[in-house]
Amino acid sequence: MIAERLEQTAARFPDSIALVDGDTRISYLELTWRVTAFARYLKQDLALAPGEAVGFFLPNCWQFVVGFFAVAKIGVVCMPFNTRWRASELESCVRRFPVSAVVTSQELREPWDRLGELIPPERVLVIEKPEVAEALAPESSAQADWRGHQSAEKGIALNLMTSGSTGRPRVAPRSHRAMLAGATNVGQAVGVRAGQRFLAIVPFYHSNGLNNCMFLPLVHGATIVVMKKFEPRRFVDLVRTNKIQVLIVSPLILRVLGDQNLDAGSFSSVEVCLSSGAPTPRALAELWQDRFAIRVRQLYGSSETGTISIEPADAPIRGGSVGTPVPCVEVRVLDSAGGERALGEVGEIVIRGPAMMPGYVGEPELNARVFTGGYFRTGDVGKLDEDGNLSIVGRKKRTINFGGIQVDPGEIEAVIEKMPGIRGCRALGVMDRRQSEIIKAVIEVGDEHNRSRREVVEHCRRFLAEYKIPRVIDFVNAIPVDLTGKQLMAWGSSSDELSSQQNEKTATD
């Protein structure tokens, strides 16, 4: 269904540029050729069958895009992995959610080479390998009429890894129909049109990156300029040289760019700027308005639901506001008994919409808890006002949002608690001085043990990706009983939880 949609777009705009990646420019027609050739390779040479999954372990690049549509074309599920994960993290996922092959690059392949027992070497598809490279970029359109597999509407196109709070990742599946519905609704909310130019900087392994930076523009005949890694000056160059019109970024990117010595006209081509992944501090949105005349609009969504709401272009800047629901998405605010909250009253945000997942894979008990009457419980706490504007004031679920990536505190706690002499650990998110969430570990040590920050970092590195290693590490004799990690964290308000505990000490100091 998704692949057919791309073909329909290509039939309307065959010569429009779909994708720019460095010096590589690919038209819509050429993109469909490449998708077909790679789909045929996966099906005929690797014998992949509908319903199987293929792991994607790539930076943002044209090969990811071709691969995504190719697996969709043969009814296979795309399963992207965070490219910063270590072999042990990948292994625990793949053991529970098997993949039949992995598409990766020479630079990133190393962890997969160590998982040969789970993924045989011939199933690690390195994009630089001649046979893979050839399938990704055929010399002619000779295979263009190959049909592949007509995916059912409810067939799963994408399995998104998402973290819970218990040390076990979850998989949120999205059907072909859900992905298309999401792209249609967000396209309407933002006014996406053919020929519009997007900068694709949010990683495609992230729900927002894949759905909004890649899939959304390609459904509408727009052009994406892919960026593998954020680097402020290169970002500004790409915006200028490609006359980028739509930016989808994170607050961190806005902050780093805001710190640069840039001309007021650096982003003059930009018509839409969406900030997502984490709350955008009000002061940062005001800085962009004042310096670059750009209204940064908050986008709110999740791996489970797709995009929920977006701030309208003409809305005043308000801390905590996440705007109005995108078309076809229903938002309600409930009290703890499941009753509807009145307008202006705070409660848990629940949502229902056509882009939503049907439920986590293999988690019937969890699914019974996270859905209520057909609505998904986001775990976020907020309120609706009389204009239909949604604001978020905190969080009910126990998770950490680091730079737009959900981190499972339970996973960090389990790793740290493996250290000898550690009696317990609580991991939680705290705000740094610039209102970004960072990871803090509060570690309870036995009286007879000295533990240092260095030992904890070294230990964590053996099991966890670098970004999961706590920035703030506190040693205590007893973890406070009220430190549950479920503390409410205000969107857009200031918080200084770090101030009193700035010294690294061993517990017995």
Partner 1 sequence: METIRDDILVRVRRVLIDSLSLNIEEDDLQYSESLDQVIGLDSLAVLEFIAALEKEFGITIEQEKLELSLLRDLSALADYIQSLSAAPPASDTPA
Residues of this chain that interact with partner 1 (CB under 8 A) are: 84, 229-234, 252, 256, 259-260, 402-403, 432-433, 438, 453-454, 457-458, 460-461, 464-474, 498, 501-504
Q: What are phi and psi of 321, to 5 degrees?
A: -75, 135
Measured from the CB atom, is 1 or 405 closer to partner 1?
A: 405
Report the 10 Å Cβ neighbour count for 3.
Answer: 26
371 vs 467, which CB is nearer to partner 1?
467
Cβ proximity to partner 1, 330 vs 466, nearer residue: 466
Q: Which lies closer to partner 1 via its Cβ, residue 76 or residue 507?
A: 507
Contacts of 418 (CB under 8 A, 6+ apart): 459, 463
Q: In this complex, which beta carbon is closest to partner 1, that of residue 6 or of residue 425?
A: 425
CA distance 366 to 98: 20
In angstroms and rounded to an integer, the radius of gyration of the C-alpha atoms of the chain is 23
8: alpha, beta or left, given left = phi > 0 and alpha = psi -120 to 50? alpha
Nearer to partner 1, 86 or 240 (CB): 86
Nearer to partner 1 by C-beta: 220 or 468?
Answer: 468
Shortest distance, position 469 Cβ to partner 1, whole Å:
3
Minimum distance, C-beta of residue 506 to partner 1, in the bound complex (Å): 11
Measuring CA to CA, how many Å separate 295 from each of 292, 306, 315, 316, 503?
Answer: 9, 22, 9, 9, 39
Q: Is 420 helix (H, G, I), strand (E, B) or coil?
A: coil
**Which residue, 244 or 473, is less far from partner 1 as judged by CB?**
473
Place of tokens 């073909």: 7
Q: How far apart are CA 388 and CA 219, in angstroms?
A: 28
Q: Least distance (Å) from partner 1 to the CB of residue 439?
A: 9
Least distance to partner 1, CB of residue 401, Å: 12
Q: How far is the CB of 453 from partner 1 (least distance, A)?
A: 6
**Strand 371-372 with 375-384, pairing:** antiparallel
**Min separation Cβ 455 and partner 1, Å:** 10
For tokens 């009220």, the residue is 482
Give the nearest distance from C-beta 296 to partner 1 in angstroms.
18
Q: Would you say 197 and 225 are in contact if contact means Cβ atoms under 8 Å apart?
A: yes
Minimal distance, residue 118 CB to partner 1, in Å: 25
Between 366 and 498, name the residue whose CB sits nearer to partner 1: 498
Q: Where are the alpha helices (DSSP H) in 191-340?
A: 207-208, 216-219, 232-241, 251-259, 282-292
Distance CA 286, CA 316 (A): 10
Minimum CB distance to partner 1, residue 430 (Å): 8
Nearer to partner 1, 115 or 256 (CB): 256
One-character DSSP codes across 93-148: HHHHS--SEEEE-TTT-HHHHTTTTTS-GGGEEETTSHHHHHHHS-SSSTTTT---
- What does DSSP assign to residue 467? G
Element (H, E) at 68: helix 62-73
Edge-to-edge order in the sheet of strand 472-476? 422-431, 437-445, 472-476
Residue type, 185: N
Rounded least distance, CB 442 to partner 1, Å: 11
> Quick one: which of 248, 237, 266 has its CA closest to 207?
248
Instruction: Give the whole-angstrom CA distance, residue 289 versus residue 121.
Output: 51
> Is the torsion defined by CA of 21, 300, 169, 440 positive or negative?
positive
Q: Please say which residue, 359 or 403, places its beta carbon nearer to partner 1.
A: 403
Q: What minimum distance in Å lies between the beta carbon of 464 and partner 1?
A: 8
Given a contact cutoff of 8 angstroms between Cβ atoms, the answer to whether 380 and 298 are in contact is no
- Rounded to the nearest angstrom, the gap between the alpha carbon of residue 329 and the centroid of all alpha carbons in its chain is 20
Angle between helices 2-12 and 62-73 (to 10 degrees): 120
Q: Which is closer to partner 1, CB of 23 or CB of 145?
A: 23
Smallest distance from partner 1 to CB 91, Å: 20
- Closer CB to partner 1, 305 or 436, in the complex: 436
Closest approach, Cβ 452 to partner 1, in A, equals 9
